Amino acid sequence: MAKPRDRRRVVVTGQGVVSAIGTGQEAFWNALKSGECGIGEATLYSTDELYITIDGEVKNFDARELGLSKQFLLSDRYSQFAGCAAVEAVNQSGLEMPLKGDEALRTACIIGSGIGGVTTMEMSYRMLFEEKKRATHPLTLLKTIGSSAAAHVSIEYGITGPCFGVVSACSTAPHSIGLVYQMIQSGLCDKGIGGASEASLNWGTAKAWQAMRVLSPDGLFPFCKGRNGTVLSEGAAILVLEEYEHARERGAKILAELVGFGMTSDAADMVNPSLEGTSTAMQLALDDAGLAPGDIDYINAHGTATTANDINETRAIRRVFGKAADDVSISATKSMHGHCLGAGGGVEAVGVIMAMEEGIVPPTIGFDEPDPECDLDYTPNKARKREITYAMSNSFAFGGLNAVLVFGPAPA
């Protein structure tokens, strides 16, 4: 447990989440620990000419009712999700906003998205190609670009330091959070907002995913023998990260410490994950944290319920953890909130931090018969009480882009 202390430490002082099982961390966590499923029949678009008709939608999301500022009311749903999660995270952190002067300059705002405002894009194409309108809506471009969520949040809070979006498909959130962590660690910034948002549920996206033949027609069942693909969903998660002394001096409540970050690229295949790339990312995160595998109590797995991911991830955990693999609690909470793509690893990071705080491992739901090749403890169906000191969150994206975060307790 000898962690190198010769560098600046980074803590989490706020978090916000929007998901198919709840908006706001309290609703989200209550659903997560009680094993609620947010996957159901799609309602946001017509399922005509689709044979995959389920997804995980954020219910009753009304930006105006949530009190978001005017700039968010005019933005794409993906930016609104980010705005909503950012407001929750910043409020919890107790930081005084908007920021000013040097403090604003030494704050980062890195909010990515797998695909950005693609629903706005689809609506605009419909207007042009189908309805033969003479022009698109004037805000089409600003709503669509994948950096608009980051820009909107920086405007909201007067953040004048590094601000951009990160794109790495289903690893977008941990890459964004990891970058903010490194910026704080290196001394470039003292705090930052990191996370990702996704709201790509529309007819065209559903068509595109369906054509890839990786979606399940009936649910997301990670590590099960009968798993038959993933389920698209949407959501957002934002963390407020802060240099430890900075947080301590202002008396902030520290939710967790971000102790390790590892990232690799398989450099092998667009869809089939590699054992080498995924296990090395986990190992690098452990090395960065100065932890041994046996120190990890809980892993929130990438667990997409595709044939390829779940076997590869199981083998990667066995490879890195060795004997400790049989003692670590694992769960794939995508079984509940679905696969919210770029936002996935962020939503799962919030779940990890709350699991640590409450000492409860959320379950993998819909778990009936285990796949003999997936032979770890996936916390089937029911949450379990367990003291969690250190926890890992895995994200392994299409293209072989891997990012792993390790969280620990607030520094004593």
User: Would you name the residues annotated as active-site residues?
Assistant: 170, 302, 339
Q: Are strands 401-408 and 390-397 parallel, antiparallel or unpaired?
A: antiparallel
Q: How far is the CB of 59 from another protein (least distance, A)?
A: 27
Q: Residue 60, CB half-sphere, CA atoms under 13 Å: how many?
A: 6
Among 5, 48, 51, 138, binds another protein (CB under 8 A): 51
* 213 interacts with another protein by CB under 8 A: yes
Among 306, 312, 335, 395, binds another protein (CB under 8 A): 306
Residues 391 and 299: beta-carbon distance below 8 Å: yes
Q: How far is the CB of 259 from another protein (least distance, A)?
A: 35
From CA 397, how far away is CA 111, in angstroms rounded?
17
Using CB under 8 A as the criterion, what x/- string covers residues 56-85 for binding another protein?
------------------------------
Size of site (CB under 8 A) for another protein? 19
**Nearest to another protein of 228, 265 (CB atom):** 228
* 272 interacts with another protein by CB under 8 A: yes
Whose tokens are 């986990």? That residue is 282
Q: Report which of 235, 173, 198, 170 is spatially closest to residue 17, judged by C-alpha positions.
A: 235
Q: Report which of 237, 264, 295 is spatially closest to residue 113, judged by C-alpha positions.
A: 237
Q: How many CB atoms lie within 10 A of CB 34?
A: 14
**Nearest to another protein of 20, 52 (CB atom):** 52
Residues 398 and 272: beta-carbon distance below 8 Å: no
Q: Are strands 384-385 and 360-361 parallel, antiparallel or unpaired?
A: antiparallel
* 308 interacts with another protein by CB under 8 A: yes
* 366 interacts with another protein by CB under 8 A: no
| All residues at 6 or more sequence positions from 409 whose CB lies less than 8 Å from its CB, including other chains | 256, 257, 356, 389, 390
Q: How far is the CB of 37 from another protein (least distance, A)?
A: 19
**Nearest to another protein of 67, 226 (CB atom):** 226
- Site stretch for another protein (CB under 8 A), options 55-63, 215-223, 375-383, 384-392: 215-223
What DSSP designation does 251 have?
T
Residues 17 and 235: beta-carbon distance below 8 Å: yes
Residues 302 and 227: beta-carbon distance below 8 Å: no
- Site stretch for another protein (CB under 8 A), options 53-61, 257-265, 306-314, 319-327: 306-314
* 274 interacts with another protein by CB under 8 A: no
Among 121, 159, 196, 214, binds another protein (CB under 8 A): 214
Q: How far is the CB of 270 from another protein (least distance, A)?
A: 7
Give contact residues for another protein (rule: CB under 8 A). 51, 211-217, 227-229, 269-272, 305-308
